[in-house]
């Protein structure tokens, strides 16, 4: 069994914005029980299940966030993410796994996960990441907006470049929307980490560079890779 670094549960926030619905998919009974209790103490509504197929059940999809292991007894966690994203689901997904190699993290993010947490993990850090993802998902929509050749529809969480739809992961979409929301503004890597992943990731600036690289690759077929400019010694900006 993968261990969890036990810490006191945070003060309950029942009745606040944190009363979101979380689907927890974890086959280890002890971890499943502990995480469920910890998140419920923080004010969340948690449905905890053991098998991956239960995450694919349409009755289980009406949730605000999915947290799942990769090594499940029936369906591989990465396959679950692929299937959920194939349905058009934009629900934030956190992978919690004992696979800690960089290649495993990259694979999880590439198939559509929003975050990847390695076991053993600190519950408070996990909680901070959950809050950051939920905060991002609840950003108020301001209607479709145009930034040069780019069209962004925040209600549908989709983007088009010169009329061509962009096949973006949730993280790539959020990065593009953040940069294009203020054309010409120089964003530091630390600012982007905080806005996209939350302050639990401050200091991990390589995440930003990797995500920018992936986003540019998807803008390239439509001739838009130069829309995101590198600012030497600072970070990045969107330039229409």
- Do 39 and 119 share a domain, yes or no? yes
CB 43 within 8 A of CB 12: yes
- Do 111 and 195 share a domain, yes or no? no
1-44 pLDDT, tens digit each: 454 554 545 544 443 344 789 999 999 999 999 999 999 999 99
- Do 166 and 102 share a domain, yes or no? no
- Do 181 and 218 share a domain, yes or no? yes
β-strand 65-68 against 93-97: which pairing, if any? parallel
- Do 132 and 149 share a domain, yes or no? no
Query: Given this model, what pLDDT does residue 16 score?
Result: 39
pLDDT of residue 77 exceeding 50, the answer is yes
Its pTM stands at 0.58
| pLDDT bracket for residue 143 (50, 70, 90) | low
| pLDDT bracket for residue 60 (50, 70, 90) | low
- Do 31 and 129 share a domain, yes or no? yes
Mean pLDDT of the region 91-115: 86
Q: Which residue has the tokens 């499943």?
A: 32
Q: How far are the Cα atoms of 9, 43, 169 from residue 12, in angstroms, in the given order? A: 8, 6, 32
Q: H or E element: which one contains 151?
A: strand 150-153
- Do 231 and 184 share a domain, yes or no? yes
Mean pLDDT of the region 32-58: 89
3-state secondary structure of 192: helix
* From 27-41, 105-119, 191-205, the region with the lowest mean pLDDT: 191-205
Residue count (the chain):
240
Give me the domain span that covers residue 158: 145-238
Torsions phi, psi for 135 (to 5 deg) = -65, -40
pLDDT of residue 165 exceeding 60, the answer is yes
Query: What is the total count of domains within the chain?
Result: 2
| pLDDT bracket for residue 75 (50, 70, 90) | confident
Would 14 be classed as within a structural domain? no
CATH for 192: 1.10.10.10
Query: Given this model, what pLDDT does residue 201 score?
Result: 61
Nearest to residue 6, comparing CAs of 122, 127, 129?
Answer: 122
Would 65 be classed as within a structural domain? yes
CB 37 within 8 A of CB 13: no
CATH for 66: 3.40.50.2300
């Amino acid at each position: 069994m993968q261990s969890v670094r036990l810490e006191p549960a945070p003060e309950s926030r029942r009745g606040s914005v944190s009363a979101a619905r979380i689907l927890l998919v974890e086959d280890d009974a002890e971890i499943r029980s502990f995480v469920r209790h910890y998140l419920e103490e923080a004010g969340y509504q948690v449905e905890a299940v053991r098998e991956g197929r239960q995450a694919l059940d349409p009755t289980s999809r009406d949730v605000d966030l999915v947290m799942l292991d990769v090594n499940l007894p029936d369906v591989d966690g990465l396959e679950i993410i692929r299937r959920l994203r194939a349905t058009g689901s934009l629900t934030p997904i956190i992978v919690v796994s004992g696979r800690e190699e960089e290649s495993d993290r990259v694979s999880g993010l590439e198939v559509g996960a929003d975050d990847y947490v390695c076991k053993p993990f600190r519950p408070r850090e996990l909680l901070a990441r959950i809050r950051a993802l939920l905060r991002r998902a609840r950003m108020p929509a301001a209607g479709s907006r145009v930034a040069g050749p780019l069209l962004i529809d925040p209600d549908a969480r989709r983007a088009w470049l010169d009329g061509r739809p962009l096949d973006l992961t949730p993280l790539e979409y959020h990065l593009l929307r953040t940069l294009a929301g203020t054309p010409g503004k120089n964003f530091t890597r630390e600012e982007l980490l905080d806005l996209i992943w939350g302050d639990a990731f401050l200091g991990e600036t390589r995440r930003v560079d990797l995500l920018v690289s992936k986003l540019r690759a998807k803008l390239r077929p439509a001739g838009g890779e130069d829309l995101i400019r590198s600012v030497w010694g600072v970070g990045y900006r969107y330039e229409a």
